[in-house]
Amino acid sequence: MESKRQQKFAGVIQEDLAAIFQREGMNYLPNTLVTITKVRVTPDLAIARIFLSFLGNPNVQTALHTIKSHASEIRYKLGARIKDQVRIIPQLEFFIDDTSEYVERMDKIFDKISKEERQPDTE
């Protein structure tokens, strides 16, 4: 379980990264909306795991690779924004947030189950 400190720091990172992607995201991925869905920070605040969602880009693996290739530049821009609030700027690790795909898959399974005929209970 994350501490309050980790949660607060993750919120700061999420807000500032969202602003960075909103302003300069087109430089990395044209015609793609990058959404930061979740940020998890290690207890020592040295590593931030950022979960991203991409809208308007059919190939999310390529989009993730592009973001990862610009990670040092993104970290530098994040550092410029939060330098007065923290001692160290965390390393950024980017991941694809597949929560929506998981939800869709589960919905299909539940729909399939609900459409099957129910067997009467015989005891």
41-85 pLDDT, tens digit each? 999 999 999 999 888 888 889 999 999 999 999 999 999 999 988
Cross-strand bridge partners of residue 51: 38, 95
**How high is the pLDDT of residue 9?**
93
pTM across the whole model: 0.80
Interacting residues of 46 by C-beta distance below 8 A, sequence separation 6+: 88, 90, 91
**How high is the pLDDT of residue 121?**
64
* Structural domains counted in the chain: 1
Q: Domain for residue 122, yes or no?
A: no
Q: Domain for residue 49, yes or no?
A: yes
Q: Domain for residue 120, yes or no?
A: no
| Residue 32, pLDDT above cutoff 80 | yes
Q: Domain for residue 121, yes or no?
A: no
The model's confidence at residue 86, banded by pLDDT at 50, 70 and 90, is: confident
The domain spanning residue 105 has which CATH number?
3.30.300.20
Q: Which residue has the tokens 């920070």?
A: 41
For 31, the domain range is 4-115
Distance, CA of 55 to CA of 38 (rounded, Å)? 16
User: Which string of DSSP letters, residue by residue, matches 98-115?
Assistant: -HHHHHHHHHHHHHHHHH
